[in-house]
Amino acid sequence: MGIIKSIFYFILAGLFEIGGGYLIWIWLREGKSIICAVIGAIALILYGVIPTLQPQNANFGRVYATYGGIFIILSVLWGWKVDNIIPDKFDLIGGIIAVIGALIIMYAPRG
């Protein structure tokens, strides 16, 4: 599996987790319809399935460690684009460090 496809699955998983969590959040905190909760729950279930699409030789711990780094930057971007919270320099620095770490964990050549 190519790195691009693998990164696509990480981003897709992040969007399903953050989007699903957000729908549950607005249902509980903002009194939105139960439909938001149901769609959010479905998205969260799909989030749990998507990481299994990573390469067969990738182990669970490495995939989820990498996903954690990707999740951090996606969360900052979500806050910026959905909640209108402009990331500050510390958000950006932390996100960059997390993504670099994630890429090393998942894609560094191993002998």
Q: Can you tell me the distance from the alpha carbon of 42 to that of 23, in angstroms, rounded to the nearest whole number?
A: 10
Report the pLDDT value the prediction gives residue 110, as an integer from 0 to 100: 87
Q: Share the mean pLDDT of the chain.
A: 95
3-class secondary structure, 33: coil
Report which residue type is found at 43. Answer: A
pLDDT for 41-52, tens place per residue?
A: 999 999 999 999
Q: Can you tell me the distance from the alpha carbon of 14 to that of 63, in angstroms, rounded to the nearest whole number?
A: 13
Domain ranges (residues) in the chain:
3-107
What are phi and psi for residue 44, nearest 5 degrees?
-70, -35
Q: In the structure, what pLDDT confidence band is assigned to residue 33 with cuts at 50, 70 and 90?
A: very high
Tokens describing residue 52: 């299994």
Q: Report percent pLDDT > 90 for the chain.
A: 93
Report the pLDDT value the prediction gives residue 1, as an integer from 0 to 100: 62
**Distance in Å from the first CA to the final CA of the chain:** 18
H/E element holding 105? helix 89-107
